Structure 1
C-alpha cells in the first residue's frame, strides 16, 4: 500500500524572549516519525521532538515544524509565538508573587524570584483564583520556600486568610532559611482567634518570649504581615507585625536579635503551617497573596504629596412636577439631583399646613384655591436646596342633574379612546389601532371591508337620551354609521344610518347585528364629506316594551321630529346597558381610508 503521510502537531511555551516547543504529539498512521526539523522564523533552527530557542528581540514569529516518517513522507505545521523581554522588577524588589496563574499541585514559579520549593507533599498546595492555597487535615504540617534571595537585608510582606480557626494552630512566616536552619515568625491562634506572635530559630527554639498582638484572626478575613530581617556587625535583627486588612498598620509587635553565624548569609523566605491533632474544624484552607521581598535599603520612597482637602460639598438641585385631580395633588421630586453624591431626603410643604416625605407624595386640600408647594431636598453631605411651585385645586365638577354619561374628547390618546369625562372607560370590540383621540374628537380610521365597535360602560337607566355629533371625510355606497342605543351582554338595539353613493341617508332600527325592527326610512338628509351632523336616540322601557326613537340632521339646520320610532319586547334588552358607536365600510368602497369622528357624546336620563 502507498505510504500514508504523517501528521505534524506541536505545542509551545514562552518565557521572556525564549520559546520551548514540543512536537511529540505528531503521529504516523502506518509507521513512525523518523525526524523533526524546526524553523523558528528568525533564521534559527532545531531538531528532535522537543527543542528550545532564544530570540534576539521581542516580536511575533512563525515557528514551523516539519516531520518526516520512516517511509520518507513529510508533513508541516506552523504556529505563531509572541515573545517579549522579561519585565525588570522595581528597584529593590528581590521576590514577588501575585499568584495569577493556575497550578493544580504545588505552587509553580513566582512572578519574580524563581520556583517555589515544597518541603511537604505537593497535593496540599495549589494556585487558583489569584491566591496560593494550602489545604490541611488535622495533625499536619506544611512548608514551602522561595529560591535563595541574594540579600541579608530584606522586608518580607504579604496577605493571608484562613477559613477555620482552631486552638494552637500555627501560621509561620519564614524570615530567612539557610540550609536546614531558619528564622521564623510564628503566629499562634487561640480557640477564639486571638493571635500571639513569636520568633523561632530552627523549628522550635524561641528567640525571646511570645507577645500578645491584640489581633483576632477571623475566618475568611484578610490579614497583612511584614517581617524585616537585617544582619549587620554579626547580629541579625528580626522585626514583625500582623494586622487586619482595612485597619491602620501598627508598629513592630515583636523585635528580636540573634547572632547565630550560620544564619547571617542570604537565604530563602517561605511559609509554614501546622494544624494540631486535636483540631475539630478541619480541613483548614490557608491562602496567601501578594508575597514580596524587597531590600528596604535600596527602595526609593517617593515623596508623599501633602494631603488635599476634599472638595466642598456641592448643593443638590431640587425640581418637582405636580398633577392635580379635584382637590388633590400628586407631586414627584425624583428629578432632583446631586452632582457629587445622592439625595438623602425629600421634605414637602403643601402650603396649607400639610407636609410629606419621600421622592413622591400626595395631599388632599380641604378647600379649592391656589397653594404654594415647597420641596426641600437634602443630599448625603448635608447640603439642602428648595424649590416652590403653585398648584390650583378645585372641587370636582358634578355632572348636571340627569346626566349619566358625557365625553367631549378633550384628551389625547394614541390608540383607543381612553376614558370618558363622565361614565368611565370606553370598551373596544375591535382593534385599538383604528381608534384615537385628538383635536377634540374621537377618531375612527377604516380601510375597505372593515367593521368597528366601541361601547361605554353600563349606564344605570332604562330611560335614556343619547345625543352627539359626527362627521365623515368620504362617502361610499352602502356604508354604515351605527348609534348603539342599548347593549346588554351580546345583544343590542342599534340605530343604523346607511349612506347611498350620493350621501343620502336611510335610517333603520336593528336588534342584534342585522335583525330589522321595522322597515328602513328615508330621512331626506344628505351626508356630505366634512360636514357636521347631530343625532338623538331615545330608548325607553316601560310595561315590558322598549321604544327606540331616532333622528339625524345637519348642523345649522332645524332639529326635525322623530324620523324613526320602533318598539320591541325582547326581555333581555329591558335591563340597563351601554351605549356606543359602530361603523362599516364595504369591500367595494373606493374612497378609502374613511375617517369618522364623534364629539360631545352625552346620555341623559329621560323623565
Structure 2
C-alpha cells in the first residue's frame, strides 16, 4: 500500500489555528519519548475537509470543490463500518482462531497480520473518494481469494470494523502530509497510570512477538488514553507490524468510532510463568568444593525473568536478577534439597527442586617403591608418605602385597620369594573414617645366579680340628688349616714318602642358621588385649630373612615380621616363631606368654536375677534366675546342674560370691578343717565366681556347661 492516495485530504480550519491533541510516542524497553510529525490535530466538527484530485503521486492537485465537514466524514465512516453485520462478525471470529480471552492483544494482532497478508489494493474512481462498506470490502476480496479489496481508507474501515466486532475500541486517522493523504486505524490499549501493569505487559509482548525495539502509540496527555498504531504501508521506513512507525503528516484527524459507547481496554495475554531449568557441576560434588549452579537455560516465553532465588538446603540462600549462575560451597557432607524460585516481569513465580548429594572427600593415595626393578628375595621398600587428605589427616596405612602377606605403616619393607607379577594394594584411612585404595602391578624378576667359583677373601682361612692317625691322608679344601690332636709326621702333608698309603675323610661345612628373636608388648598382657609380636631383631649372618611364621599356642597362626594377636582366655601360651632366610634355612624360637584376666575390668556382666537357696539332697543349691525364693525341698531344673567346688587347705572362713550374690562362708554347713566349698550353678551359662579372704582372693569367670564339675584351688 502506497503512503499516498490519488485523492489528497486537506484539512481546512475555518475558525482557529490547529493545535496538538494526542501526542505521538515511541515506547522502548525501559523508556519512552515523543515521535516526530505524528501528533494528532485538535479539530472542530464543523471544520471542512477538502478532497482534491491529483494528477498522480507526484503531480499537482486540482480542486474539484469536493468539501465535507469532519462531522459528516465521521458519520459516513461509522456507517460504513456496518456494525452488526453478520459477515463481518463471522470473519472477526474466524481470524481470532483459538485465542481465548476478552479483547486480547494477540486477537487484534491476528486480524492485522491476516489482513496485511491477504489484501488486494485497488484505487477509487478517478476524481472521487469512496468509503466502502466493510462487508462489501470482504466480499470483493473473496472474488480474488483475499480478505479484502480497496484502498487505504477501505483497509482502515475494515480493520476498525473487525476490531469492533470482537469487542475492541477502534478509531480511524485521516492524515495529510508532503507525500499526500492517507488513512489508517488505531486500537485503544488502555489508560496510562491506572493500567500501567497491563500496558507494560502488552508493549513487552509486542516487542517480543515482532522482534522490534520500539512500539508507536498516540497518548492523550489529559486523559492518559493510549492508542496503538495499526497502520500498514510498504516502504523502507513504513509500518509493517502493529505499533509500527507513524505516517509523517502535517495534519492528522482522529475519527472516533461509536463514541457514545465506553471505550474497552485490551487485556494482555495471560502471563505464562517462567520455565525453571538448572543443573550443577561437578556432577559428584564433595565437601569444600566449589559447585556451579547454572539456571541460564531457564526461559520466560512471554517476558523476562527478573529474579533468581536459590536455597541450598542447609540454611544458605542467594537471590538477584544476575544470579542465573551461582557458585556455592558446602561445608558438610550429606543430601540436600536445592530450591530455585524464578520470578518473571509479570509477577508469576515457578519453583524447581533438585536433590544433591555432597560426598565426604576420600583421602588421596600415592605410593612408590624401591628398587624400581626388584628381584626375588630382594627387600622392597613401599612408601605412601605422599598420600594426603583434604580436610584432615591420614591415620592408617594397610598394605596387601599380593602374595598372601600384609602389613601396616606409612613405609614398609617386604620380600618376594618367587618371581611373578603381584598386585600391591595400599588402603589409607583418614581421621573421619573414610578410606581409599590404590593398587599397582609389581613385576618381580629372577635373582641373579651366583658364580660357580668364588674368589676367597685374601688371607681368609677355615680352621677345622681332626683326630688323624699316622698314615691317614686328608683332603683339605683350599684355605683350610688343620689342627691335629697328635703328630702327623707321616701324613701326606708332612712326609712325601707316605703318599702311597692314604686315607680319605669328608669334612662337612655347615650353613649357619638365622637367629630368631621374639619381642612382645605389653609384657603383661590381659585377656582380649592386643599383643604386638615383633621379630625385627632377628638376623642372618650371610643373607636376609625373608619369612616369619608365628604359632601363638592357642590354635591361631600368622605371618609377618610384626604382627598383632589377642588371646581370648587366661593361661600360659607357648608362642613359637619360625624364620626362613634367603637360602631356605629355617630356625625356631619360642617364648611362654602368660595371659591373665584384667582384675580392674568393669566389663564383666553381673547376673541380674535374684538368688535363693533350698535344700536338695542335703546340699546348698544356688538358684539363679528363678525370679524368687525356691520353695523348700524344691528340685532344681535341669539347667542348674553344673557343680563348682572351691577348695583351700591354706585358708578357712573365706567368703564366696557368684555373680555378685553372696553364697556363704566356708565352714557353714561344710567341714571347717578341709576348706572345701561346693555349690551348684545354672548350666550352659557364664558366671563370675569369687573367693575372698583377708589375706588372699581369687576369681573365675567361665561358661559352665550343664552336667560338668569344676574345681578351683584357693
- TM-score, normalised to structure 2, is 0.20
- TM-score normalised per structure 1: 0.23
Structure 1 or 2: more strand by fraction: 1
Which structure has greater helix proportion? 2
